[in-house]
Amino acid sequence: MNTTTTTATLALSGVTKRFPTGTTALTGVDLSVDAGEFVSVVGPSGCGKSTLLRLASGLDEATEGSVDVDAGTTSYVFQDPTLLEWRSARKNVELIGELSGLSKEQRRRAAQEALDLVGLTGFEKQHPRQLSGGMRMRVSIARALVAEPDLALFDEPFGALDEITRLAMQTELQRLFRLKGFAGLFITHSVAEAVYLSTRVVVMSGRPGRIVAEIPVPWEFPRPPELRFESDFAHLVGQVSAALEEHA
Amino acid sequence: MSTDLTVEASTAPGVQAGIEETTAPAEAPPTRRTSPVLRTLLAKVAPMFAAIAGLAALWYAVTYLVLGEDKRFLLPPPHQVFGETLGRPEIMQPMLAALWQSVMVALAGLVISVVIGMAWAMVMAQTRLLEKVLYPYAVILQTVPILALTPLIGIWMGYGIAARIVVCVIIAVFPMIANTLFGLQSATAPAHDLFTLNRASRLQRLLKLQLPAAMPAIFTGLRNAAGLSVIGVIVGDFYFQQGSPGIGGLLRVYTLRLSMEPLFLAIILTALFGVVVFSAFAALDRAVIGKWYGER
């Protein structure tokens, strides 16, 4: 992963990813996420959305093309909360500070702030098994935000949640995005979720994944939950869905 | 609405009961209530006592119903075993001293097995190559019959306590290696990704991810190794008899003399020792791991 001076927080140029098995997951992907942008990626299953995120995070390397990140800190929210069962909620959030060598006092204060931010005040000492699915995901988001990231990557974090919790988490994430001002790249299967959360929705084709449409979302933040029931919103969701179906 | 309420009130069971109480005060028979603590305790120990009673019944049945009078010395009944040993200091003192000796050897062997087993597994968990190179030796240690090694151990280590500890270690180390390795490799790929993204060092990954994730498996290994260390010490006592004897050494002596009552008591004490060690680690497991993962 190169770090260059570019206006984009994240820039992928001509990225192709081929696995040793011969499978091509992505081909010729050009994508940029600027500071203050929240970009969602939708596409059919197996089109390489998660691979795209792994390349952006540096967990994997592109076979061709370049991935440039201009961010002090990048954080990653996994599909599963990926909490360490033997640690309390606070200790899970503190982990990031432990790994980067922060003092005990610093990391405890930062963890407490992050947990307060995601509405988990009073649940600091609970272990993951004592928390609901939504609360576990909140801990995971607190862990991602504790490092004050410039770029936050989300790999379908709400996919396993029930509908009510999912809608609540979307509102929560929107609030955190406005509050913290990180650039966001969000992978999801839900077109409505993508439209509600994002400043721009990127549509990918079936494997090998390539970007087939980029649709800007016009509404300012904060977006009220009722926006989901308005005709303009439904129209935009329909537009994204049509692009998806056309290139599936 | 009010009519409905009146009807409901007049037919409600509670009201009827109240009327009965005022006209004819019921003298409920006093019920005997067992306290919850006692009930829990009973639920836990009752099956154990039932099993002991069943075993004793089987023992008596074999002694009196299967064996003829001339063969009864082969399996003396429980009351005879305890009656002819427990009250006799000339039998009990050396037996308890030998048991203590064996406990010490088994614990020493167990501690060494835990240290070697965990270190071995931690080294193997670093790379696939190291695992491929080192794992076969662990398997060999497990598969070579210990009786084939005892002459060699005697020649190298002498025939005293050190040799007994070595036998213990050889028998008990494999479950520690296998379980620790399995546990260290059980951390999920996303958890590893989390550590990679945060530039964790190899040591941080081992101490903060792999080892805690391995704890349930390590405790399983500990329980198995504890049981095997008891077997190891009996085998070691049996073959290496220099120095103060262990319980395995006494088993051999009793067998040669056909002293059946002490022999059976020694076997019972050895089994109890195994059960105690196993239970201690099971309790430790529940206390430590249960907090993280719920009841086990």
- Shortest Cα distance from A86 to chain B (angstroms)? 5
Do residue B132 and residue B229 come from a single domain?
A: yes
- Shortest Cα distance from A48 to chain B (angstroms)? 17
Least confident of A7-11, B48-52, B99-103, B275-279: A7-11
Do residue B60 and residue B136 come from a single domain?
A: no
Q: For residue B295, what pLDDT band results from cuts at 50, 70 and 90?
A: low
For chain A, give the percent of residues with pLDDT over 70: 97
Mean pLDDT of A113-131: 93
Among A34-38, B21-25, B270-274, the range with the most confident prediction by mean pLDDT is: A34-38
Q: Does residue B10 carry a pLDDT above 50?
A: no
Q: Does residue A239 carry a pLDDT above 60?
A: yes
Do residue B191 and residue B267 come from a single domain?
A: yes
Q: Is residue B29 part of a domain?
A: no
Report chain A residues whose CB lies below 8 A from the CB of B194. 76, 78, 82, 95
Reported as a single tens digit per residue, the pLDDT across A148-189 is 999 999 999 998 889 998 998 999 999 999 999 899 999 999
Whether residue B212 and residue A76 make contact (CB cut-off 8 A), yes or no, is no
What pLDDT sits at residue A144?
94
Whether residue B293 and residue A98 make contact (CB cut-off 8 A), yes or no, is no
State chain B's mean pLDDT as an integer.
86
Do residue B227 and residue B237 come from a single domain?
A: yes
Strands A8-18 and A64-69: antiparallel
The closest CB to that of A99, out of B193, B204, B212, belongs to B204
For chain A, give the percent of residues with pLDDT over 90: 85
Q: For residue B291, what pLDDT band results from cuts at 50, 70 and 90?
A: confident
Q: Does residue B27 carry a pLDDT above 60?
A: no
Do residue B54 and residue B161 come from a single domain?
A: no
Mean pLDDT of A15-32: 95
Among A233-237, B158-162, B274-278, the range with the most confident prediction by mean pLDDT is: A233-237
What pLDDT sits at residue B21?
39
Report chain A residues whose CB lies below 8 A from the CB of B190. 78-80, 82
Indicate which CATH number applies to the domain containing B250: 1.10.3720.10
Report H helices in B125-210.
128-143, 146-157, 161-184, 189-197, 202-205
Whether residue A84 and residue B191 make contact (CB cut-off 8 A), yes or no, is yes
Reported as a single tens digit per residue, the pLDDT across B161-210 is 999 999 999 999 999 999 999 999 999 999 999 999 999 999 999 999 99
Whether residue A99 and residue B190 make contact (CB cut-off 8 A), yes or no, is no
Instruction: Name the nearest CA neighbour of B182 among B226, B204, B215, B134.
Output: B215
Pairwise CA distance, residues B116 & B114, whole Å: 6
Q: Is residue B102 part of a domain?
A: yes
- Shortest Cα distance from A190 to chain B (angstroms)? 22
**ipTM value of the model?**
0.90
Whether residue B190 and residue A127 make contact (CB cut-off 8 A), yes or no, is no
Q: Is residue B17 part of a domain?
A: no
Do residue B267 and residue B186 come from a single domain?
A: yes
Other residues' Cβ atoms within 10 Å of the Cβ of residue A13: 15
What pLDDT sits at residue B238?
87
Do residue B88 and residue B213 come from a single domain?
A: yes
Pairwise CA distance, residues A19 & A23, whole Å: 5
Is residue A186 within 8 A of residue A154, CB to CB? The reply is yes
Report chain A residues whose CB lies below 8 A from the CB of B189. none
Q: For residue A52, what pLDDT band results from cuts at 50, 70 and 90?
A: very high
State chain A's mean pLDDT as an integer.
92
What pLDDT sits at residue A158?
93
Chain B residue with the nearest C-alpha to that of A89: B292
Q: For residue B4, what pLDDT band results from cuts at 50, 70 and 90?
A: very low
What pLDDT sits at residue B24?
43
Report chain A residues whose CB lies below 8 A from the CB of B195. 99
Do residue B59 and residue B197 come from a single domain?
A: no
Is residue A197 within 8 A of residue A225, CB to CB? The reply is no
Q: Is residue B13 part of a domain?
A: no
Q: A1-73+152-248 adopts what CATH topology?
A: Rossmann fold (3.40.50)
Mean pLDDT of B71-81: 92
Domain with CATH 3.40.50.300 in chain A: 1-73+152-248
User: How many structural domains does chain B have?
Assistant: 2
Q: For residue B283, what pLDDT band results from cuts at 50, 70 and 90?
A: confident
Report chain B residues whose CB lies below 8 A from the CB of A139. none
Do residue B60 and residue B166 come from a single domain?
A: no
Q: For residue B30, what pLDDT band results from cuts at 50, 70 and 90?
A: low
Chain A residue with the nearest C-alpha to that of B195: A99
Q: For residue A3, what pLDDT band results from cuts at 50, 70 and 90?
A: very low
Q: Is residue B2 part of a domain?
A: no
Do residue B52 and residue B118 come from a single domain?
A: no
Pairwise CA distance, residues A83 & A61, whole Å: 25
Helix (H, G, I), strand (E, B) or coil at A168: helix
Q: Is residue B11 part of a domain?
A: no
Q: For residue A247, what pLDDT band results from cuts at 50, 70 and 90?
A: confident
Is residue A185 within 8 A of residue A156, CB to CB? The reply is no
Q: Is residue B10 part of a domain?
A: no
Is residue A146 within 8 A of residue A5, CB to CB? The reply is no
Q: Is A98 on the interface with B (CB under 8 A)?
A: yes
Do residue B163 and residue B197 come from a single domain?
A: yes
Q: Which of B25, B46, B75 is the last residue of a domain?
A: B75
The closest CB to that of B208, out of A78, A98, A129, belongs to A98
Could you list the residue range(s) of the whole structural domain that residue B66 is in?
35-75
